[in-house]
Amino acid sequence: MNDSQINIVRVFSAFAVVWLHVSAKFVIAYKSINPTEWWLANFADAYVRWCVPAFIMLTGALSLNKSIPKIRIYYIRKFHRIALPITFWTIFYSLYFFYRSENATLFDLARNFAKGTPYYHLWYLYMLPGLYLITPFATRFISNCSKQELSALVTLSLGIAGLDHLLNQHNTLFITSFLPYIGYFLAGSYLAKYPPNINQNQLIAACIFSGSLIALLTGLFIPYTGNRVIYYMYGYLNPLVIILSLSTFCFLQSVKPEPPTIENVICKISPAAFGIYLIHPLFIDIVNDQMPLTGQHPLIAIPLVTLLVFTLSGLTTTLTLKHHLLRKIIA
């Protein structure tokens, strides 16, 4: 992947994560908002379920397609890179969790930590070390794989993960949370090495089909199952979400931003993408506290609040990156 493709995936994935979490405010309130408004938010949420898998695939594309000469040096570098962000944001969001939760206990905090979710979005930060742990071995394995063998491995990994997602609903410790996502990790490597020759219109059709089916099935079953169907249909390992994620990633790979001004803007936002991911829940909460989202029409509130939160998170991250010490918690 070239720098332009990397920047596009980063920026659009970060924007989609914010869009997803804004939309979720409406989706989880399905019993208390207008049905038409809920369906609009449901579709808005379903179509961006690819966002986190795209981050994982990008990590695979950047990590697995280069040689790692010394494992010890690799692990030391990665430890220094992720130890401080995990520590800082765990402490920060644990305190924030207590601040916002009236009945929170130390047991709740310990349970959230064991699950790798001091706050709902930090599971991704806790999942990354597991992927980095297997990277040196996966890199050597992939370097000896043919295109067909790697394709089969990706299909098998994602197939097993998707089946497990549909058959099981269980909580795991964060130390094993990376295992189901190895398929996405490997898929990123495969798609970067062997970009598929698929027409953009076909990719768009696959995205629309899978996203629509996710939303429709969620809406049809939620009156009977409650929030449980959201876990199954919105889950990143749902087979339909896998199709949506792979299709969107391939589409973003094929996009060529024009005119150059757009590419320059994307290039400038890209370094802030991970910081936007880490910070944006704060701004969503601030906006929601001042102006409850479910009291607004989702057709207006979702895009406007997403743009506002994305901009505020991006500006905060950019300012943080300018400080040589603070940049280490989000870089």
Angstrom distance (rounded) from CA 307 to CA 304: 5
What pLDDT was estimated at residue 311? 97
What pLDDT was estimated at residue 50? 97
Q: What is the pTM of this model?
A: 0.92
What pLDDT was estimated at residue 144? 87
What pLDDT was estimated at residue 169? 57
What pLDDT was estimated at residue 306? 97
| pLDDT tier for residue 174 given thresholds of 50, 70 and 90 | confident
pLDDT at 192 over 90: yes
What pLDDT was estimated at residue 90? 93
Mean pLDDT of 256-267: 85
Mean pLDDT of 2-7: 91
Q: According to DSSP H, which parts of 3-70 are helical?
A: 3-27, 35-46, 51-63
Token code pair at residue 22:
């804004």
Q: Do 126 and 174 touch, CB atoms closer than 8 A?
A: yes
| pLDDT tier for residue 256 given thresholds of 50, 70 and 90 | confident
pLDDT at 40 over 60: yes
* Domain chopping of the chain, boundaries: 1-30+257-331, 49-254
Of 88, 136, 69, residue with least CA distance to 331: 88
Helix axes 260-269, 3-27, angle to 10 degrees: 70
| pLDDT tier for residue 64 given thresholds of 50, 70 and 90 | very high
What pLDDT was estimated at residue 102? 79
Q: State pLDDT tens for residues 111-161.
A: 888 888 889 999 999 999 999 999 999 998 898 888 898 999 999 999 988
